[in-house]
Chains A and B, each alone.
Chain A
Amino acid sequence: STVNAFTSASGESKFLESGTLTPEEFVEAGDQLTFKFPTWRWEAGDANLRASYLPQEQQYLITRNVPCRDRVRALDSALDQIKTEDDWLLPPEVSTSGASKDCLQDVDDLASPKEGKAEVGPVLNFNADDDFLGDGAKASNLPDFSDLDKQLQEEDGYPAASAPAAPASVIVAEAPDANILKTRTYDLSITYDKYYRTPRLWLFGYNENGDPLTPEEVYEDVLSDYKSRTVTVDPHPLTGTPTVSIHPCQHAQVMKKVIDDWIEQGLTPRHDLALFVFLKFISSVVPTINYDFTMEIEF
């Protein structure tokens, strides 16, 4: 309603002037999101990590098991050629030298002391000289249960089944996961960033076998324009697990642009629609992660 757009419970909405949200406005936007898209839901998170300025049971939003079938590199070249009219989808140009470094330094309490190291091209600098095991090394250190697996599947695993009309004696023994196209999946969550006063998207990915993705693997699903400037790894505020997120430093600017567009069109900006705008923007950052968001934003 018009009244809601201008006042909120805290009485200090800065939505119109700067595109930011108060905690109450975030909750209202989250309620709209879960109402329209029930595949997103509110969760309470770790009891020790909850914020007092948000309701206990509404600490963050999450949607799980979202498929991501392709990597961005397949789209990159196609996208280079598209000049979008909706350029509010892309954040304003940020120079790679000054402003972006500030963007990454602001929030991180865990900033690595090695942060001043030389950049390695446009890809986010990921410390290459620590003990982190690459895929090959990792695989060789893990215990091998393949024989045991085979035995289990033979003795009482998931049998594949008979075709509907086949007689009982004819059972086709098929590997349980034959014919399934395996895919990466993501659990996506949206938290309220107290410092920037905007939503913040967190991406926890799994490979085709269900193992967690490395940050480098997650970056394969982020549009290259964004990787070097806005993608970080931080402890998730409600789970504590190190998780990739899209840094929120640009979000308010993007929202402000949309608000200005709405005003220009004679519409009254609504803060409770903020997460629909947010998700539309995010879909341009991670275009191959197919979460439920497609809708025209209706007033």
Chain B
Amino acid sequence: MAQPAAATKDFEPLQAAPDVGFWQELSQRKLDLWRLDSSNVPVTAFYEASQASRVPAKCFLQKDAFQDTRVPVGAVKVVGELKNFNTEEEFRAFLGNADARQSCLAEAVAQISSAIASGKALQEPWQLRRLLLCSFADLKKYHYSYLLTLPALKTPKPWQRVREPIEDLGPEVLALVAKGLREKDFDGLCLLTRAADVGWSLRPMADLLNVKVESEDDLILVFVDPSSEEAPAWSLQNALVLLAKHRPGRRRVLAFRDPQLAGASGYTSSGPQLRSLLFRYALDAEMESSGDCRAGWSKIATVDLTRFLDSKMVAANAV
């Protein structure tokens, strides 16, 4: 197989980051509420703009994931479902069966496609981000195995990105974006537009169809990006499909990673190190999805939480 010059990922995977409280709550519900009922359960997760380099793009799930649909201020909401299996055999059987996996995601994929086609996703960007967390809990041993997927719509060709210098926007504009994202909830996705008299400003996705700009370079998609690697996070893909559908063109995308710029000055005179990245994507009208998806399943992780959840251990280890 020929080796291309520099193979890099097209999108950075999200890492499932359920905390101890999440598993504690799951265990409780399994015992008291669900018992053997293995229907999917709604959960709410969130991610944040990357605030350091070279850390995983975490998708957080906490104790309140099961009942609260709010996420912390400034965080990006990811709505989804938990599929918890009763036995390890069922967990393995499901994951090992391509048809079962595909059909399980079919509904989420259909909802995403429909939200894009109808334009609903412009009003509600969270419709683009749907999570499925699959898990198996051995409650006696406090072993929890899990993996996640955020289905991305498949496009006829792969997305090609071209990186452009972030200095084309510069720190003042980035600070404006950071502050704007902090002041108003844009649901993780918005537009950065430039007008002759007012300069750059942030607008909700809902303005996509009617905002007028002098040049298409004055319309940039702002994506709150949890990735700290070269590639933007996996969840950008459905946003690109949305844009290609409703306002195609060779467009710039800002993978936003500088939330700290919303704070007051805290930087040395050499200026802030900008970590946000600017890309140009060919958002062609033809990049319409067939309705198939790229699941992008994460690796299966297993944690042993005896030390945290076994009350005898907890008492013994408290010093």
Contact = CB atoms under 8 A, between A and B. Distances in A.
Interface of A: 35-39, 41-43, 46, 63-67, 104, 108, 110-112, 114-115, 124-127, 130-133, 138, 141-143, 145, 148-149, 151-153, 155-166, 168, 170, 172, 174, 176, 180-181, 183, 185, 187, 204, 206, 209-212, 214-215, 232-235, 239-242, 290, 292, 294-295
Interface stretch (B4-12, B110-118, B212-220): B4-12
A156 B302 contact: no
B9 A163 contact: no
A183 to B, nearest CB: 6
Among A138, A161, A170, A181, residue most surrounded by chain B Cβ atoms (within 10 Å): A161
12 contacts: A38-B74, A39-B260, A64-B58, A115-B319, A130-B316, A161-B11, A162-B4, A163-B7, A212-B303, A235-B314, A240-B21, A242-B317
Among B55, B101, B305, residue most surrounded by chain A Cβ atoms (within 10 Å): B55
Nearest to A276: B266
Given A64-B58, A161-B11, A240-B21, 4 more contacts: A35-B264, A148-B300, A159-B10, A164-B160
Nearest to B58: A65
B60 interface: yes
Contact of B20 (A65, A108, A183, A212): A212
Given A65-B58, A145-B302, A176-B13, A163 B92 contact: no
B130 to A, nearest CB: 16
Contact of B13 (A63, A111, A158, A214): A158
A141 B304 contact: yes
A175 to B, nearest CB: 10
B314 A242 contact: yes
Among A110, A112, A210, residue most surrounded by chain B Cβ atoms (within 10 Å): A210
B168 to A, nearest CB: 19
Contact of B54 (A115, A183, A295): A183
Contacts of A65: 17, 48, 51-52, 55-56, 58
Contacts of B15: 210
Given A65-B51, A172-B3, A210-B17, A35 B263 contact: yes
B318 A159 contact: no
Contacts of A172: 1, 3-4, 7
Interface string B74-113: 1000000000000010001001101001000000000000
A145 B263 contact: no
Contacts of A163: 4-8
Contacts of A148: 92, 95-96, 300
Interface stretch (B26-34, B119-127, B290-298): B290-298
B155 interface: no
Nearest to B163: A164
Given A67-B55, A240-B21, A162 B308 contact: no
Interface of B: 1-11, 13, 15-17, 19-21, 24, 48, 51-56, 58, 60, 63, 72-74, 88, 92, 95-96, 98, 101, 138, 141, 143, 145, 147, 157-158, 160-162, 178, 182, 229, 231, 234, 259-260, 262-264, 266, 294-308, 313-319
B55 A185 contact: yes
B21 A46 contact: yes
Given A38-B260, A170-B2, A241-B20, A181 B307 contact: no
A214 B229 CA distance: 27
A174 B7 contact: yes
Contacts of A111: 318-319
Among A115, A164, A292, residue most surrounded by chain B Cβ atoms (within 10 Å): A164
A37 B260 contact: yes
Given A156-B294, A172-B1, A39 B51 contact: yes
B9 A161 contact: yes
Contacts of B158: 161-162, 168
B88 to A, nearest CB: 6
A170 B4 contact: yes
Contacts of B6: 163
Contacts of A204: 19
A11 to B, nearest CB: 29
A157 B296 contact: yes
A239 B60 CA distance: 15
B317 to A, nearest CB: 6
B4 A38 contact: no
A153 to B, nearest CB: 7
Nearest to A129: B316
A67 B312 CA distance: 32
